[in-house]
Structure 1
Amino acid sequence: MDPTELQEEQYRIDRVRRVADVTLYLLDRTPLSRSDSLDVIEHARREILRLCPGKEEVFDLVLRPRFLRAVNERALREWGLKDSVN
């Protein structure tokens, strides 16, 4: 890989990390309905796949479950059930 390709790859990796971090923050800290949360996840999916075309399976196996876990954990906290589940 030449230095330009390496730099572009590093940019994409950093951008994916930022998109994932912002998505997790929004899902955990903002008052969203479940439908709105799923919209946030879909927006993140589109952005990440734009940066990394052909990685749908990786998104579905790694990031989507992480995002859904954040949505579910926030719901449990809001319902006061978080401590009773663990």
Structure 2
Amino acid sequence: MKVAITSSGKELTSLPDKRFGRCNCFVIYDTENGSVEVVDNPNRNHNEGAGPAAMQLIASKGAGKIITGHLGDKAASVAKRLGIMMIPLDEN
């Protein structure tokens, strides 16, 4: 399974980003083969619709789970429709 993680930067040592639709990029980890792909988030500067567009992007990369701080209602609706599970970042 592929898991997408919102990230503040392109390095594996970059901090997670609690923003979903406005994060800088996504780190996509494949739990089956251990591969990692870093994908820029071209939607981060959209005036509206950044969350749903970002959800479509990670779905196109085959992610079945997203680790992030918060999904807005529209992005959560798209995730539910696409069968993508949300895992919240630890608030501590």
State TM-score, norm by structure 1. Answer: 0.32
Q: Which structure features the higher share of helix residues?
A: 1
The structure with more radius of gyration: 1
Q: Which structure features the higher share of strand residues?
A: 2
